[in-house]
Amino acid sequence: MGSGTELPVWICLVWLIAGLASGEEVLRCFECKDSETSCGSPENSIGNVRECPNSTMCSTIVMYSLVHGKEWTRTRRGCGKQVTIYQEYIGKDWIKKYRIHDLPEGCTKTERSIECNCRGSLCNSAIQGASISSSLLILLALAYGKIILPV
């Protein structure tokens, strides 16, 4: 029989290999559309998780409006709108091209809305910084293994 310390080492190795094999992660953001008027309200979820291969940022837009004297709030979440589509004349044809541009990180307030852009997977949740990357999990697993097994 083993000493009982083989299981934590095995778990650490599996997490390490899984993290290295995954390579660069695709950005994931919470997404909800304008038609989902209760998106992000205390009674409902903050939206579905969506992969954003053409984005480096997530966005949250909170819009305010007055309807019959009452203030209504709508929240839209999704991938940052960073893709500009343009056409270039090459040879004798117009070719559609895409350009990804950077957005300012942080929030911008206007009269009727607040627009926020953030970096990192699932950063556009109601609770900022709630996501944990697989790299951090691997480091925690290795640290946990080192504490239990001071080899």
Q: Where are the domains of the chain?
A: 6-20+27-145
pLDDT level of residue 25 (50, 70, 90 thresholds): confident
pLDDT level of residue 107 (50, 70, 90 thresholds): very high
Q: Please state whether the predicted TM-score (pTM) of the whole model is above 0.75.
A: no
What is the spatial distance between Cα 101 and Cα 127, in angstroms, rounded to a whole number? 26
**More confident call, 26 vs 12:** 26
What is the spatial distance between Cα 75 and Cα 52, in angstroms, rounded to a whole number? 19
